[in-house]
């Protein structure tokens, strides 16, 4: 079984782990809730009658809605128009020589000035299309906003290459046909219907990610989530939680203790990807 890969190169993506995670899910799911959708790697690959994908980050949710409402070739053409307008590199068309560089060095130096103009224009006049194009040329495709709410990731080494274009096309094609709804709320505000299976992939308290910064996730949130899950379980609603028990010498005792009442599957992996 091969799984679609999100066109957002998302920190904490479960794409590589799906072959271990997905077989653990129930077989006949009515409503699949991806409560912390992130790159939407899990939601887009779920087999269910309907899917709800939620994330607190409104920018990515708006982007998925835009992907769902448009055809892949239109989106790709619109991205390419922006690339031409801002004079950004197009290595899949012209190779690296045109930009006086190599694949290992990348196009960061060439694109820096053009990318900064694109990013400034996106910040002045945000839209899902400008957000995604900016993200494509942003360092490691990382989503980072400063305290003024401006997108401020520096330039990337890579551009809109063949792999990401293919991932984008397949992802958009799938969203076009799926019964999938996108919501952007704190998980506490998501009401779960009785026919749901809930996949829960929150930020991890003991690891680093941009969405953990600025108190984005803390012990209080972690406790709220564990209560929220216990309340689902008390209603007989099935769920799966991904998390980390141990990282760089830190042990998450609270989570280990809490999880003892549930079934735990240890996965083989490097969770950063």
Ligand X SMILES: C[S@@+](CC[C@H](N)C(=O)[O-])C[C@H]1O[C@@H](n2cnc3c(N)ncnc32)[C@H](O)[C@@H]1O
64 touches ligand X by CB under 6 A: no
222 touches ligand X by CB under 6 A: no
* Interface with ligand X (CB under 6 A), residue from 5, 7, 9, 13: 13
* Interface with ligand X (CB under 6 A), residue from 33, 115, 202, 207: 202
Phi, psi of 25 (to 5 degrees): -75, 155
- Cβ proximity to ligand X: between 130 and 200 the closer is 200
* Interface with ligand X (CB under 6 A), residue from 58, 69, 179, 186: 186
> Judged by CB under 6 A, which stretch of 6-14, 152-160, 244-252, 258-266 contacts ligand X?
6-14
> Judged by CB under 6 A, which stretch of 11-19, 73-81, 164-172, 173-181 contacts ligand X?
11-19
* Interface with ligand X (CB under 6 A), residue from 21, 29, 33, 41: 41
- Cβ proximity to ligand X: between 110 and 204 the closer is 204
42 touches ligand X by CB under 6 A: yes
User: Per-residue string for binding with ligand X, 113-152, x by CB under 6 A?
Assistant: ----------------------------------------
- Cβ proximity to ligand X: between 112 and 221 the closer is 221
- Cβ proximity to ligand X: between 64 and 115 the closer is 64
Please spell the DSSP secondary structure of the chain, one letter per residue.
------SS--TT--GGGHHHHGGGS-SS-SEEEETT-TT-TTGGG--SSEEEEE-S-HHHHHHHHHHHHS-HHHHHHHHHHHHHHTT---HHHHTTGGGT--TTT-SHHHHHHHHHHHHHHHHHS--HHHHHHHHHTBGGG---B-TTS-B---B-S--S-HHHHHHHHHHHHHHHHS-EEEE-S-GGGPPPPTTEEEEE-PPPTTS--GGGTTTTS-HHHHHHHHHHHHHHHHTT-EEEE---SEETTEE-HHHHHHHTTS------S-TT-
CB of residue 107 to ligand X, shortest distance in Å:
26
Nearest to 136 by CA among 41, 40, 7: 7
Contacts with ligand X by CB under 6 A lie at: 6, 10, 12-14, 36, 38-39, 41-42, 55-57, 186-187, 201-203, 211, 216-217
């Amino acid at each position: 079984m091969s799984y679609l890969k999100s066109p957002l190169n998302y920190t904490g993506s479960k794409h590589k782990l799906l072959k271990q995670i997905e077989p653990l899910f129930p077989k006949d799911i009515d409503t699949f809730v991806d409560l912390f959708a992130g790159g939407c790697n899990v939601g887009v690959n779920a087999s269910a009658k309907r899917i709800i994908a939620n994330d607190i980050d409104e920018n990515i949710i708006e982007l998925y809605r835009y992907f769902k409402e448009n055809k892949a070739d239109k989106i790709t053409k619109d991205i390419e128009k922006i690339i031409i307008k801002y004079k950004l590199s197009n290595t899949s068309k012209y190779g690296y020589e045109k930009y006086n560089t190599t694949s290992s060095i990348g196009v960061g130096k060439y694109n820096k000035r053009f990318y900064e103009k694109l990013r400034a224009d996106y910040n002045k006049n945000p839209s899902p299309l400008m957000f995604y194009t900016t993200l494509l040329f942003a360092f490691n495709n990382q989503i980072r906003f400063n305290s003024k709410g401006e997108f401020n990731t520096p330039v990337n080494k890579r551009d809109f290459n063949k792999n990401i274009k293919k991932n984008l096309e397949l992802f958009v094609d799938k969203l076009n046909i799926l019964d999938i709804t996108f919501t952007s709320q704190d998980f506490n505000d998501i009401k779960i219907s009785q026919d749901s299976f809930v996949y829960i992939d929150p930020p991890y308290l003991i690891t680093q990610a941009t969405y953990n910064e600025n108190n984005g996730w803390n012990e209080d949130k972690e406790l709220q989530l564990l209560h929220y899950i216990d309340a689902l379980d008390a209603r007989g609603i099935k769920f799966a939680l991904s998390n980390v028990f141990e990282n760089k010498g830190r042990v998450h005792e609270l989570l280990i203790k809490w999880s003892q009442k549930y079934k735990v599957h240890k996965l083989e992996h490097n969770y950063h990807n």
